[in-house]
Amino acid sequence: MSDEAAVDRPATTGAGLGPQPVPHGLGTSLPSDDTGAKAEGTFPYAADLWAEGLLWAAVLRSPHPHARIVSIDTSHARAMPGVRMVVTHEDVPGSPLHGRGRADRPVFASEVVRHHGEPIAAVAADHPDTARMAAAAVIVEYEVLPPVTDPEQAFEAEPLHPDGNLIRHIPLRHGDPEAVGEIVVEGLYRVGRQDPAPIGAEAGLAVPRPDGGVELYLASTDPHGDRDTVAACLGLPADRVRIVVTGVPGATADREDQGFQLPLGLLALKTGRPVKLGASREESFLGHAHRHPTLLRYRHHADATGRLVKVEAQILLDAGAYADTSADALAAAVSFACGPYVVPNAFIEGWAVRTNNPPSGHVRGEGAMQVCAAHEAQLDKIARRLDLDPAEVRMRNVLATGDVLPTGQTVTCPAPVAELLAAVRDAPLPPLPKDLPEEEWMLPGGPEGAGDPGAVRRGVGYGVGMVHLLGAEGTDEVSTATVKVQGGVATVLCAAVETGQGFTTLARQIVQETLGVEEARVAPVDTDQPPAGPGCRGRHTWVSAGAVERAAKMVRTQLLQPLAHKFGMSTELLQIADGKITSYDGVLSTTVAEELEGKELWATAQCRPHPTEPLDEAGQGDAFVGMAFCAIRAVVDVDIEIGAVRVVELSVAQDVGRVLNPAQLEARIEAGVTQGVGIALTENLRSPRGLVRHPDLTGYALPTTLDAPDIRIVKLVEERDVVAPFGAKAAGSVPVVASPAAVASAVRAATGRPVNRLPIRPQAAVVTAAR
C-alpha cells in the first residue's frame, strides 16, 4: 500500500458544524505535502529539470567486467557536429578517486576496468542523441582479462585493486569455543543480488557559477556527502560546490551513484554551460550499488529442549569491484549473525571481498537481511530434529532487554521479541482454499493457477529479525535543524532529504504539536544548510527529527517567556494545546496566534546520540546506538509439481517505540514487507561471468500490486526507547529483514525441502516421487 493510499484523510466539514480543523501533531495521520502532486503526475522529478543553453551529457561505460585499457581515442567523438566536450580520466582536476565508505573508485577508469558498466568517458552535446552517439564513438582498445566472479576465489586470485581483494575481516569470539550441544544442525545458504530499483533512475543538472564553482540539482539522498565528493574530485573548495536536492522519487537506501554526479559537474565546468544527464534504466542498474550477494555456512548447537548452546558461522560478502560501504555491511552481518536470540557462545568469521561483479553497498537492512535468512533456516532445522513447532523453538531462545549480544553489548533498548513472536503465532490463520468457493481460489502460478489444485500444499513459517538504527562503530551521528516562526507560519530548515520515509511530514507534526501553530512547512534542501547526514538506517526519524524537536522547544520558550515573566511564573507552568496557551491555574488563557502576531522567532539546535565504538579484534564492542525488532508469520501455497509459490498472507508484529503517524507507519511496514517478498521469490540481478544480464525492469522482476500478499499488522509494540527522540524507532528496514526468511520458512514447511537460497527457485519447491 502506498503512502497516499494509507492516509486516512480527515473530514474538513461536518453536518451543520461548518469547517472542522484538520487534525495535526504527533500521533495523527497527517498526509505528506507531495501526495497530490505525485498522485496527479505533476510532481517535478530531477529528470524534468531544464535551463537556458542546456547541453546534454552521456557516459561511455565498459562492456567488460575486467580488462586492461590499452588506449582511448576521443578524436572521432570530438569531431562530431554538436559535440561540445569530451572528458576522460586525464581531465579530472582533483582526486581521481571517490567512494562512500572508502575512496577507491576512479571517476573514470584509466588503466583497468573492474566491473561491467564502469565509466570510461563522458560527452556533452547539443542534443541527447548526439551525446549518446558521440559517447559510442569514443574508441577504447581493451585487453580483456579473466574476471574474478566467485568471491571464494578472491582470496587466492591476483589483486584486482591496489588495496587488494580483502576489504575487511571480522573474527567474532564470544564465550567457550569448546561448548557443544546435544543437537547439531548445519547449513549452506546463498542470498542473491538485489537492486534498490528506485522508481526514477538517476538524473541531474549542473550549472557553472561565476566564481568558478558549480551548482548541481540532484535527487541526492546525502547532499553534503555528495558535495564533499564532487569538490574533492573537481579540485574545488567545498564552498564553491552547491547541491540543491530536487525531485527525489523515493529511495530505499543510498541508491545514488556518486560517480554519476562527477562527470556532470566536470562537463559543466569545462563547457561553461548548464549540462543535464539522465541515466537510462540500464545505466542505473550498472552504476549504483546493490545488495551484497552472500555465502553463509552455519552450524548451530542446541540442547535437547531446543535452547541454543553455540553458533558457528562463516559469512562471505561479495562487495563487487569497490569497497563502498561493505565494511559497515559486514559489521552488521557478523554482529547479528545469531539473530534476536540468546546465544551464550558464538564464533563467527566474516569477510568482505572484491570481485569483478557489479558494485555492492548500502541497501535497506544490509547484512542483517542475509544472516536472518540463514539463522531462521537453522532454527527450522532444530525444530524438525526435535519435532517441535518452529515458533516454540524460537520462543525458547528470544532476546530481551538486558541480554547480551555476541558482540558483548548489552541490549538496553526495548526488545519485546517474545511479545512480537507470540502475536504473530497466535493470530488467526487465513482460510484454506477448500473452505472457499472454487471460483475464488487463487492458485500458485497466477490468478487461474498453472497447475493441479491437488498439487497445492500450504505452509506456515516464521521470520524474526533485527536491525541497528543509525550508524555504528564510532560513527559521529549528528543533525542540525532551524525552526522559524513568522506571521503565524512555522518553517523548518533541515538538510534531511525526504526519500519517502516521511521526514517532512514528521517535522511538520513536531512543530505543530510543540508550538500550537496550524501551518508548518519544510524548506527545500541544499548544502547551504548545515549537514544532516544520509537518509538511511532511520537516521532522520531519530537525529533530524530530534534536532527539529529541540529547535522547536527553544522557540516555544521564546514564545512563552514574556508571558511567564508577566504573570510571575516559569514557562514550565504554561502549556500549549489546540492553539491556546494556558497556565496551570487557569489565570492565563490566550491564543498562540495572538502572541505570535508581529513577532519573528527562530532557533537552531543539534541532535547527537551517544557515541559508539568500533568492534575490536575479537568482534567485541558497544557498536550500536539502538536496535529494532520484527516478527513475521508467512502463509504460502506451493504447487509442488511446478514449484510455483503464492504468498497468501504475512502477519506482522513490530517494535516501533511510539506511533508518530499511524498511516505513514502502516505504509512503511507494508512497503518493507512487500520488498521482502520480492527478495524471497523474484529479485535477482544475475551477472554470469561478471556481465549483468537483463539490466531493466523486464528482466529484473519486481513484485507488483498483483504479487503483493495480504499484509496484516497484528501488533505494534509501543515501548518507548528512552534515548530516542519521542521514543520512536524507524520502521522501514526491519520488515525487509524478516519477511524473506518467513517466506522461505513457510515454503520449507509446505514442501519439506531445505530451501537454502534466495530468491527461491522453482526447482527448490518441487517435490517428486524420486525425492
pLDDT for 598 equals 85
User: In a 3-state reduction of DSSP, which class is residue 629?
Assistant: strand
Find out whether 241 and 214 touch, Cβ atoms under 8 Å: yes
pLDDT for 704 equals 85
Question: Percentage of the chain with pLDDT > 70?
Answer: 94
Query: Residue 6's pLDDT band (boundaries 50, 70, 90)?
Result: very low
Query: Residue 442's pLDDT band (boundaries 50, 70, 90)?
Result: confident
pLDDT digits 0-9 by tens, 108-153: 999 999 999 999 999 999 999 999 999 999 999 999 999 999 999 9
- Nearest CA to 346 out of 278, 407, 413 is that of 407
Give the count of alpha carbons within 13 A of 621, CB side only: 20
Residue 11 has pLDDT above 50, yes or no: no
pLDDT for 100 equals 86
Find out whether 736 and 650 touch, Cβ atoms under 8 Å: no
Give the count of alpha carbons within 13 A of 106, CB side only: 21
Separation between Cα atoms, residue 538 and residue 484, nearest integer Å: 25
Average pLDDT over residues 208-220: 95
**Domains of the chain: residue spans and CATH:** 3-44 (no CATH), 48-146+201-248+255-287 (3.90.1170.50), 294-473+613-765 (3.30.365.10), 479-607 (3.30.365.10)
- Nearest CA to 364 out of 676, 667, 54 is that of 676
Residue 212 has pLDDT above 70, yes or no: yes
pLDDT for 338 equals 98
pLDDT for 2 equals 35
Separation between Cα atoms, residue 682 and residue 195, nearest integer Å: 12
Separation between Cα atoms, residue 150 and residue 293, nearest integer Å: 10
187 grid coordinates = 547449513
pLDDT for 10 equals 35
Residue 43 has pLDDT above 90, yes or no: no
Computed over every residue of the chain, the mean pLDDT equals 91
Task: Kindly tell me the burial class for residue 29, based on how many C-beta atoms sit within 10 Å of its own C-beta (0-12, 13-18, 19 or more).
Answer: buried
pLDDT higher for 577 or 759? 759
Average pLDDT over residues 570-581: 86
pLDDT digits 0-9 by tens, 294-308: 999 999 999 999 999
pLDDT for 254 equals 53
| Residue 247 phi, psi dihedral angles, 5° rounding | 60, 40
Average pLDDT over residues 611-620: 96
Find out whether 561 and 595 touch, Cβ atoms under 8 Å: no
pLDDT for 260 equals 87
pLDDT for 24 equals 67
Query: Residue 22's pLDDT band (boundaries 50, 70, 90)?
Result: low
- Nearest CA to 718 out of 634, 671, 654, 667 is that of 654
Residue with cell 565498459: 62
pLDDT for 638 equals 94
- Nearest CA to 98 out of 276, 4, 233 is that of 233
Residue 510 has pLDDT above 90, yes or no: yes
| DSSP structure class, residue 544 | I
* H/E run at residue 373: helix 368-386
* H/E run at residue 14: strand 13-14
pLDDT for 12 equals 34
User: In a 3-state reduction of DSSP, which class is residue 657?
Assistant: coil
Separation between Cα atoms, residue 721 and residue 548, nearest integer Å: 18
pLDDT digits 0-9 by tens, 391-433: 999 999 999 999 999 999 999 999 999 999 999 999 999 988 7
Residue 606 has pLDDT above 80, yes or no: yes
pLDDT for 210 equals 96
Query: Residue 687's pLDDT band (boundaries 50, 70, 90)?
Result: very high
Instruction: Tell me which range, 313-317, 467-471, 588-592, 728-732, is most confidently predicted by mean pLDDT.
Output: 313-317
pLDDT for 18 equals 41
Average pLDDT over residues 755-763: 95
Residue 56 has pLDDT above 80, yes or no: yes
| DSSP structure class, residue 712 | E
